Structure 1
Amino acid sequence: MTAIDLSPGMLAIARERAKEIGLANIIEFEEGDAESFHLPSQRFNAIVSRFGLMFMPDLPNALKTMREALVPDGRIAAAVWSSPQKVPSFLLPLEIVMKETGTPPPPPGTPGPFNLADTNLLRERFEQAGFQDIRIESNTMNFRLPSAEEYVDFVRSTAAPLTAMMAGLPPARQEEIWNKVVGASRKYSDPATGSVNFTNEVIYVSAKR
């Protein structure tokens, strides 16, 4: 079993969870870009991608590579975000950071969190890569953290596109922007506990080699 992620922070969390459930000795953790990472041919029974496909600049080539890494009849399963208004936990900080940094909306088709929200396009990409038995469905996912501050800490450690938008700003200005995200996220908080709760729509796709 191999786990690949571009974010050292995400890998650190994954390693800790693997230890907690006794899987640390059977999982190889690799830091890298899943799009260009070398995957041995016909090595894996299954490939799982969680909120990563929509950020890949050359998705058609990445899917072909993943297909080749599967054994015959092996399956890929992936989760991608639905349209922006249906994913408040990501839309909220994205809108604030874009406004505060003066970042314009990306051109259509640019890799980003909502790039595969169109299920017709999603199916087309998998068909072009040669996958069969393509299944697509949507469902909601509840996202909860103990406080607005912890929610923003999570976003800061996992949302690389947002931190990249602020990379050239002074640290004090970056903190000011993140504090605005903290304040805005409180409208999703539970008055009794202070926890923040988001309901996001997720699109699931699976396909067979």
Structure 2
Amino acid sequence: MKSFDESSFFYNEAINLINLDDYDGAINFIKKNINILVNPADIALAYLSCGFLNDKLGDNISAIADFSKTISLEDGIEVIDFRSKDVSLSGRSNSRYKNGDFEGAIEDKRKAKKIRLFEIYKHKELNSNKIDYKNILLGTFLEKDLELKYRILIKVSRIEKNKYDLISDYKKVISDKKKEEVIKKLESLSELKYKAGDFKAAIRAIRRAEKYY
């Protein structure tokens, strides 16, 4: 069994590199030292963080590979206590979208939704404070309140918002009820486009819906 000091060093060094915006360095460090980790969920989380880092670097192919590695590892884990399996699928969906694979992107997003609903149904007691993709978009969790390994996840998965985001401005002047109506309308549109085989329109509608969270 690896010592606490080793894992603490692993996470602290990764955070230091990320804080320096040395994403390449962080990825190389994580993968070079990943054998420090013994818990399969922690190993999956490390690859998940690399996926988001590669996405930030614009290396969609490497990001997809890292997210796929995470998904493969998570398939062998029945329950992950503090985070949802929907994060890795949503991460890969984003990278596939940027890489022009609209069918793969919408399929991942649909799987992510099914997995999250299953988690909520099957393990209600574990879902009150779980990191899922929606909570990441909402900025629900503060880094200072989390374990080191989850601080990394929140830090690398944070999406930089456009200063002139019209949807963000519109959200400020509409009610929560109106937001829910818009989200449901866009989700319905995505479903219609998916059934029609228009995968590009389907994933775009879902991505737009997520901006109203």
Q: TM-score, normalised by structure 2?
A: 0.28
1 or 2, which has the higher strand percentage?
1
Q: Determine which structure has greater relative contact order: mean sequence separation of CA pairs < 8 Å that are 6+ residues apart, divided by chain length.
A: 1
1 or 2, which has the higher helix percentage?
2
